[in-house]
Amino acid sequence: MAQNMLSRPAGKRGAIKESLGERIFTVCVYILFTLLGIATLFPFLNIIAKSLSSEAAVISGMVTLYPIDFQIGTYQWVLGNKQFLNSFKITVFITVVGTFCSLLMTVLSAYPLSKTYLSGRKSFLLIFIFTMLFNGGLIPTYLLMQKLGLVNTVWSLFVPGMISVFNMLIVKNYFEGLPDSLEESAKLDGASNVRILFSIMLPLSMPVMATIGLFYAVTLWNSYFNALVYVTDPALKPLQLYLKELIASTSEVMKLAGEIDINNDLNKAPEAVQAASIITATVPILCVYPFLQKHFVKGVLVGSVKG
């Protein structure tokens, strides 16, 4: 088929007059992307429908894209569940505080490193970049955290990942792109570097701050691994770890393995409760997503990846 089309001479205005093969191709591309979009959204839509359906409907496997026997009892249960709410609070705390600390540390490191006249800049950069290439690994880090007394504290959930060197490099590249004349004139007026950074450079860097801030926030919101490793106290479990355990407890594997079903005391179908919990934990991400989308499309990130 393809050869057939190749042999056709293209019209003078190729862009407008398409050959039959090209038109078929275009249609196929549109169909493909429509299907891809559906495949991406389907798991979300299915679980939303399930969270709003009755127990019987969920278990029968009848629920597809719309709720059957509509109910919102599962959400009432989830939002009234102490452990869920507590985990939600922990996650909000580490996301807000962690993002703030991360942004501050990232900016403070990125600004001096963006100054080509800083002597020793190359060596400092190497110190940062080396940590991207080589790391101590899980066990030595765990032992360090233990020694520092951070195990089973809320700090263990955001301090170990406070600076992402990758994000730092993005901010550094952005600073490098700002005009030097700003700095020069501010220095003539006697401003210190700290002052220049916080009163002149940062206000000009809002797009990259927003992008990086959202990235830190999403990472913190989504992380479960640190909690899995450093936290055993149920009062400190963030949302993702709570969900991980909830999902494990309702999946058939664990039932077979004879693990205790924490939802035994529930009158609801565990699957529907699980679905409602998943939706509730995902809604905040879906709320910030449009903002994320707006910023990363501007190419702030891509520029650095290519750099």
Partner 1 sequence: MDLASKTKPVPKKKPAQGRREKWGKFRKEWDLYLMLVPGLLFLLIFKYTPMYGLIIAFQDFSIFRGIGDSPWVGLKHFEKLLHNDQFYSVLTNTLAISVFKLVFLFPAPILIAVLLNEVRKMMFKRVVQSVIYLPHFISWVIVSGLFINLLSVNGGLVNALIVKLGGQPIAFFMDPGIFRSLLVTTEGWKEVGWGTIVYLAAISSIDPQLYEAAKMDGANKFQQIRYVTLPGMASTIVLMLILRLGNMLEAGTEQILVMYNPVVYNVADVIGTYVYRVGLGASDYSFSTAVGLFESVVAFILIISGNWLCRKYMGRSIW
Contacts to partner 1 from residues 65-104, by CB under 8 A:
none
Residue ranges in 10-39 that form contacts with partner 1 under rule CB under 8 A: 10, 14-15, 18-19, 21-22, 25-26, 29-30, 32-33, 36-37, 39
Give the CA distances from residue 180 to residues 129, 176, 177, 247, in Å, rounded to whole numbers and listed in that order.
25, 9, 9, 53
From its phi and psi, is residue 258 left (phi > 0), alpha (psi between -120 and 50) or beta?
left
Nearest approach, Cβ of 208 to partner 1 (angstroms)? Answer: 16
Instruction: Select 46 or 86, whichever has its Cβ closest to partner 1.
Output: 46
Instruction: Select 82 or 134, whichever has its Cβ closest to partner 1.
Output: 134
Instruction: Select 212 or 269, whichever has its Cβ closest to partner 1.
Output: 269
Residue ranges in 221-250 that form contacts with partner 1 under rule CB under 8 A: 221-225, 228-229, 240-241, 243-244, 247
Got the DSSP string for 218-279?
Answer: HHHHH--HHHHHH---GGG--HHHHHHHHHHHHSHHHHHTT---TTTT-SS-HHHHHHHHHH
- Interface with partner 1 includes 117 (CB under 8 A)? yes
Stretch that binds partner 1, among 72-80, 82-90, 126-134, 202-210 (CB under 8 A): 126-134
CA nearest to 157, candidates 246, 105, 231: 231
Stretch that binds partner 1, among 77-85, 134-142, 199-207, 260-268 (CB under 8 A): 134-142
Amino acid occupying residue 249: S
* Whole-number Å distance between alpha carbons of 220 and 162: 10
Residue ranges in 176-215 that form contacts with partner 1 under rule CB under 8 A: 176, 180-181, 184, 187, 192-194, 197
Cα of first residue to Cα of last residue in the chain, in angstroms, is 40
* Whole-number Å distance between alpha carbons of 291 and 14: 38
How many residues touch partner 1 (CB under 8 A)?
120
